[in-house]
Chains A and B, each alone.
Chain A
Amino acid sequence: MTDLLVDRPTDGGPLRRPLGTRPPRWGERAVKALLFLCAMLSVATTFGIVVALLQPTVEFFGSVDPIDFFTGREWAPLFAPPRFGVLPLVTATIVVTVCALAVCMPLGLGAAIYLSEYASRRARSILKPTLEVLAGIPTVVYGFFALTFVTPQLQKIWFGNDPPEIFNALSAGLVMGIMILPTVASLAEDAMAAVPDSLRAGALALGSSRLQVSTRVVVPAALSGIVAAFVLAISRAIGETMIVLIAAGGTPNLTFDPTEAMQTMTAFIAAAGFGDQPTGSIGYKTIFAVGATLFVATFAMNLLSIRLVRKYREVYE
């Protein structure tokens, strides 16, 4: 074990032997080991999540056919006879996620372009923290807002003949989109800030307008970072619990109509969790099986997003 900073010059030169022999510094080593253990807690957490999910999930699939689970069209784990088709929960998650993305992708991207390319320094210093507040509002409060404010408003202004139900995926998704907006805006803006000014200057010198600089130079150059922001938004939308639990309802419903009530994967986990299932029962294990499905989906999204962010960092930094 070599001490990086003492033995090796930071400019990457050859290893130097310390002058004379040093007595081993046990205290230093103990501190370093302790700090390493702190960092390893993160690995232990991931390991713990995987183990916590895996064992009950394996047991669950011992009694329920995985093909039935992933293709079944009916979800009623506590009925007699129980039905374990996860599709209604998955479609509900997709419907809510699409509603949220329809809000947060265009608005987040627009806000990012504005903050990065148009806003004065003063406007930025006010707008950015204000948007950050939006990200800090607790999700229960968003859920309450969706259920008691947004849904009645939607019902009032609805022009079709089929107004949204009291619980519906639409208002949950819209409010969730507002919640995720600052995340998308701030990540996309980071990516645009990493685009070198020489590209902008070059385009302007060739006679481009600001609109052309933004849409044809900055956005394409920052594309991997913007996509990373979108991917992270998808992951956030899939994993969000309280808004859908409060505003989207608690009945599994295989439909793509966002005005109907439906139960997402996260809402099912939460509802089954506080329903006090006895340990080891099939109802208890469904929590983990659905949780594992959710974890795998978001995990893949997150890794993809981290990859994409790396990519633009490598290009410009």
Chain B
Amino acid sequence: MTAPYEPVPVSVLGRPRRGVRTRNSAFKMVLLGCVSTGVVALAVLLAYVVTEGAPRLNLDLIQRFPSSLPGRAGARSAVFGTIWVIGLTAFFCLPVGLGAAVYLEEFADTNRWWNRLIEVNIQNLAAVPSIVYGILGLGFLVRGPGGLGPTVLAAALTLSLLVFPIVVIASREAIRAVPSSIRLGALALGATPWQAVRTQILPAAVPGIATGSILALSRAIGEAAPLLLVGGITFITFNPRGLDSAFTVLPIQIFNWVSRPQAEFKVLAAAASVVLVAILLAMNSVAIWLRNRYQRKW
């Protein structure tokens, strides 16, 4: 290790001196304070959103379409828009992300520069700000060469690119957790590399892959910034009817309501936030349950 190591004076055997004990317990309290700040902030945030949104937390919220009259407004088109966009995102990015993970874990020779390039590139993409993906979507998919317009398809493709690196990283971890004895056993019995992957490794890695995919999609559900560039905050009072339909999603609907001056819209924003956070917590719980229930310890 390069860091200078300061030799610690040997203390008297037995209980440490009083000053040392006080300093130690004070330090521990400070550390505990750091962790609790996070936990308390989470509790305050959840409590605040639920109490603010409580008056409008009912079925009307998801049964009514947005309206300029706060008393009659709901988030129906946003809920359906979210289902459309996220469903399509899963359809696009999960197979491709899994394929990339299988390639990197099972087929890629890491001594080759292009494989190392792919690896660093994926790590880097995972940390590119989401708004940059929005710019990519705006410049390539909505306008420019793609020319799709502000549609469900453009939104799903943009989000697919956004969560692709997350899916790859999670799936790679799941595949890596399968012990190599299984792979070598299959190969020794005459399986080709692809047969070993298809019949042995992937089935064993499914719980981990599912967990990672759910977490990646839950990231996509909460994402608003790139979709602001792709879809705008247009006033949508209908459910998506197809891939080329205009859309709104829950986070954008919340942003729309937050940015209006009337207080009633703030209540609606809080209520919609509760719905969004509840969906995400439910997805996280399913992911954790899946992991605990099906993941084998090798």
The chain A residues found within 8 Å of chain B, CB to CB, are 3-6, 10, 25, 27-28, 31-32, 34-43, 45-46, 48-49, 52-53, 56, 106-111, 113-115, 118, 127, 129-134, 136-145, 147-149, 178, 181-182, 185, 199, 203, 206-212, 214-217, 220-221, 223, 232, 235-236, 238-242, 245-246, 266, 269-270, 273-274, 276, 279, 287-288, 291, 294-295, 298-299, 301-303, 305-306, 315
Contacts and interface: CB of A to CB of B under 8 A. Distances in A.
Given A32-B107, A113-B31, A207-B11, 10 more contacts: A4-B109, A10-B184, A35-B103, A53-B135, A138-B251, A210-B24, A216-B5, A273-B138, A274-B229, A295-B129
Contact of B288 (A111, A113, A129, A242): A129
A82 B251 CA distance: 32
A141 B11 CA distance: 52
A25 B192 contact: yes
A295 B128 contact: yes
Contacts of B266: 144, 148
Contact of A46 (B41, B108, B121): B121
Nearest to A114: B31
A299 to B, nearest CB: 7
B96 A41 contact: yes
B281 interface: yes
Among B3, B135, B180, B218: residue with most chain A CB under 10 A: B135
Given A39-B108, A138-B223, A270-B131, A133 B284 contact: yes
Nearest to A213: B8
Contact of B194 (A28, A41, A145, A270): A28
Among B97, B194, B224, B225: residue with most chain A CB under 10 A: B225
Contacts of B37: 107, 178, 181
B103 A274 contact: no
B interface secondary structure, majority = helix
Given A39-B100, A107-B38, A295-B128, A212 B139 contact: no
Contact of B132 (A40, A42, A295): A295
Contacts of B104: 39
B291 to A, nearest CB: 11
B117 interface: yes
Among B108, B127, B266: residue with most chain A CB under 10 A: B127
Contact of B222 (A140, A221, A232, A269): A140
Interface in B198-251: 215, 218-219, 221-225, 228-229, 232-233, 251
Contact of A266 (B6, B225, B284): B225
Given A46-B121, A110-B30, A136 B284 contact: yes
Contacts, number: 308
A178 B11 CA distance: 39
Contacts of A43: 117-118, 121
B8 A111 contact: no
B52 interface: yes
B228 A144 contact: no
B129 A298 contact: yes
Contact of A32 (B23, B128, B194): B194
A138 B276 CA distance: 8
B34 interface: yes
A270 B228 contact: yes
Contacts of A236: 127, 129
B118 A49 contact: no
B125 A46 contact: yes
Contacts of A269: 131, 134-135, 229
Contact of B164 (A6, A41, A49, A127): A41
Among B4, B6, B128: residue with most chain A CB under 10 A: B128
Among A114, A178, A242, A269: residue with most chain B CB under 10 A: A242
Interface stretch (B61-69, B83-91, B254-262): B254-262
Contacts of A295: 128-129, 132
B99 interface: yes
Nearest to A53: B135
A46 B126 CA distance: 11
B100 A239 contact: no
Contact of B280 (A138, A182, A241): A138
Contacts of A142: 45
B296 interface: no
A134 B30 contact: no
B24 A42 contact: no
